[in-house]
Amino acid sequence: MTGTDPREHRKPAAFRLDDRKVHMSEDEVRMPVADEAIITRATLDEDEPRLPRDASTPKSGIRFGKWLMIGLTGLVSLSIGLAVDSLIRDLFARTDWLGWLGVGLAAIAALGLLGLVIREMTGLMRLGKIDHLRDKIQAAADEDDARQAATGLKELLELYRDRPETAQGRKALAGHMREVIDGRDLVKLAERDLLAPLDSEARKIVMNSAKRVSVVTAVSPRALVDLLMVLFENLRTVRRLSTLYGGRPGTLGFLRLSKHVLAHLAVTGGMAAGDSLASEILGHGLAARLSARLGEGVINGLLTARIGIAAISVCRPAPFIDTSGPNVKDFMGELIASSESAEKGAREPT
């Protein structure tokens, strides 16, 4: 009958994939004959046409918040300038030497402000250079590009040129760069000879910070003290790690660095680390040994260590290639031991 589907008149049949009657076809409309089977490739969803990207991209309209900040900043600057001008006029009205003293102090303040701006800009540029250098070395290792690796490692040597503690590592790396051809191997040698001492010191900084948080949380009777201690230690650790790896950020640079650390934590799942850390502790059979305060101290210490690990990844001018970098489990045993000893000391009568 004309216009009917031939498949409606076929009886069910079974075929082996290696049967000569089974054929592959890209044509989905071709119908098989009575003793033939046709396998067609299914169309994937990503092959279907999509709407333009602009359909899901937020429109960049007028940024009224930015206008507000510019206006308020300008008004505050004008008010400060007018206040200083009025003060100096009043000082000259009283006596000349007071007026000139005011002018001198204003000039000192202006020089200090200029130096502060230069320092902040230099710190931001240094952090940007470290981010760019890390990406360059990562790309050189991934592509095994010897030329790009040599260029990146020369910048790394320049970054640590004035650091006496890296003299031996810089000398060894410079020798490797004259001999080794493989780009990825060069990056591994830089990690072993130049960055390994800095990595060891970074682990000690994070461990000591995590131990302080753990001990204070275990013995402190006030939640506010715990909160302030955790905040202070985390900020202090991030700044010390940045200085260790060559960042030396100013105030604005430190805020930018903290933002990057939080972003790194979010990407690697650090915000949900509390549950996993608790599971690890319980999984190690330590639940019976942990009191409520001790367990809270260990958890806070491990979370501090987690933030320190993220800060190492952000501050380090080269990625971890030969090793996987520090892990939270590396800090667990020593943190538990220090918290137990602190709690035992707090319980002993004085």
Name the residue type at position 292: A
Q: Which of 257, 264, 260, 224 is nearest to 242 (CA)?
A: 257
Kindly state the DSSP code that residue 173 receives in the 8-state scheme. H
Residue 12, token pair as written in the block: 């069910």
The alpha carbon of residue 341 and the mean position of all alpha carbons in its chain are separated, in whole angstroms, by 33
**Residue in the block written with tokens 């001008």:** 85
Kindly state the DSSP code that residue 29 receives in the 8-state scheme. T
pTM tops 0.75: no
Three-class SS state of 180: coil
Q: Which of 250, 269, 316 is nearest to 118 (CA)?
A: 250
CB-CB contact of 238 with 258 (8 Å): yes
CB-CB contact of 120 with 253 (8 Å): yes
Which residue stretches of the chain have pLDDT < 50?
A: 1-3, 6, 43-46, 270-275, 278, 282-289
DSSP alpha helix (H) spans, the chain: 64-94, 96-143, 146-159, 167-179, 183-190, 196-219, 223-244, 251-267, 273-283, 292-315, 329-347
Q: How far, in Å, CA of 157 to CA of 163, rounded?
A: 10
Cα dist. 253→111, 233, 257 in Å? Answer: 21, 18, 6
The secondary element (H helix, E strand) that includes residue 22 is: strand 22-25
Residue 105, token pair as written in the block: 């102090």
Q: How far, in Å, CA of 142 to CA of 129, rounded?
A: 20
Residue 54: what pLDDT?
A: 64
- Burial (CB < 10 A; 0-12, 13-18, 19+), residue 338, is buried
Full 3-state SS string of 38-77: EEECCCCHHHCCCCCHHHHCCCCCCCHHHHHHHHHHHHHH
Kindly state the DSSP code that residue 318 receives in the 8-state scheme. S
Q: How far, in Å, CA of 89 to CA of 93, rounded?
A: 6
